[in-house]
């Protein structure tokens, strides 16, 4: 009987140890969940001067971008621009201006807006869902294209981060998040729901900015 009790009491400890190892492994892989922009401009954060230097953006289009942001999806941005620019112009522009897409939820149409992504590659993007980290995306898509091409794709995508477990590096990879906002993200842990995140972060930024930030996070 004693040996049974020891086995039963030891099992939970072993499970805890294995779970801890798994969590640490996922956390280490989860750094920088938003790709390096590589000079690709985010229309929700860019200045007027930055956007006026981009191809095909007239003064009127830039004024409209400023007035209508935040664009909470690439589809919203595309809907705004496609009425004024041709398909070829949009292709050139999206290599320089883009709203990062969520790798786990983006529609096929949104994925196809990523420069150099055709139907075959869009299928590969979808094939490996759900993504837990950009490292996973890099590894899987790297089976089909070289490292330079994967890096270009990463400039247009992100994997949402868990609000309660994300590393500082992962939080700081969210566009527009700096040290002060990093502190606020962590201050209210543990989050029990996104509504709590909206309420707490809404003390520091307006509703539009909360909605923009919310795209990059989830509550475990």
My answer on whether 81 and 92 are in the same domain is yes
For residue 32, the model assigns a pLDDT of 60
CATH number, residue 87: 1.10.150
Give the structural domain span for 140: 100-159
C-alpha distances (whole Å) from 72 to each of 2, 89, 169, 209 are: 60, 22, 23, 10
DSSP summary character for residue 102? E
Note whether 161 and 31 are within 8 A (CB). no
Place of tokens 């993504």: 131
User: Tokens in use for 200?
Assistant: 């707490």
Structural domain contains residue 12: no
Q: Which of 220, 201, 219, 203 is nearest to 211 (CA)?
A: 201
Question: What's the pLDDT score for residue 31?
Answer: 54
**Would 28 be classed as within a structural domain?**
no
pLDDT at res. 35: 80
In a domain, 69, yes or no: yes
Nearest to 33, CA basis, from 183, 168, 220, 149? 168
Backbone angles phi, psi at 115, to 5 degrees: -55, 135
pLDDT at 2: 38
Q: Report the chain (220 residues): mean pLDDT per 10 consecutive residues.
A: 38 39 40 82 97 98 98 98 98 98 98 97 98 96 98 97 95 96 98 98 98 96
Q: 134, 159, 184 — which closes off a domain?
A: 159
Question: Are residues 71 and 42 part of one domain?
Answer: yes
Does 83 share its domain with 106?
Answer: no
With respect to residue 10, please indicate whether it lies within any of the assigned structural domains: no
CATH number, domain containing residue 118: 1.10.150.320
Predicted pLDDT at 24:
38
Q: What is the pLDDT of residue 19?
A: 38
Asked which of 99, 128, 149 is the last residue of a domain, the reply is: 99
Last residue of a domain, one of 79, 99, 119: 99
Question: Structural domain tally of the chain?
Answer: 3
On whether residue 59 sits in a domain, the answer given is yes
């Amino acid at each position: 009987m004693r040996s049974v009790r020891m086995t039963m009491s030891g099992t939970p400890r072993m499970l805890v140890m294995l779970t801890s190892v798994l969590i640490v492994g996922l956390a280490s892989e989860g750094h920088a969940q938003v790709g390096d922009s590589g000079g690709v401009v985010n229309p929700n954060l860019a200045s007027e001067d930055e956007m006026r230097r981009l191809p095909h953006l007239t003064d009127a289009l830039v004024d409209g971008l400023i007035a209508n942001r935040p664009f909470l999806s690439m589809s919203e941005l595309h809907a705004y621009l496609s009425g004024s620019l041709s398909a070829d112009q949009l292709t050139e522009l999206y290599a320089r201006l883009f709203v990062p897409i969520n790798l786990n939820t983006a529609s096929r149409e949104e994925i196809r807006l990523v420069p150099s992504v055709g139907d075959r590659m869009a299928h590969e993007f979808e094939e490996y869902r759900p993504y837990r980290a950009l490292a996973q995306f890099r590894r899987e898509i790297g089976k089909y294209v070289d490292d330079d091409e994967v890096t270009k794709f990463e400039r247009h995508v992100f994997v949402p981060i868990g609000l309660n477990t994300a590393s500082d590096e992962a939080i700081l990879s969210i566009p527009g998040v700096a040290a002060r906002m990093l502190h606020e993200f962590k201050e209210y842990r543990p989050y029990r729901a996104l509504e709590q995140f909206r309420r707490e972060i809404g003390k520091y930024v307006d509703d539009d900015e909360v909605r923009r930030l919310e795209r990059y996070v989830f509550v475990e």
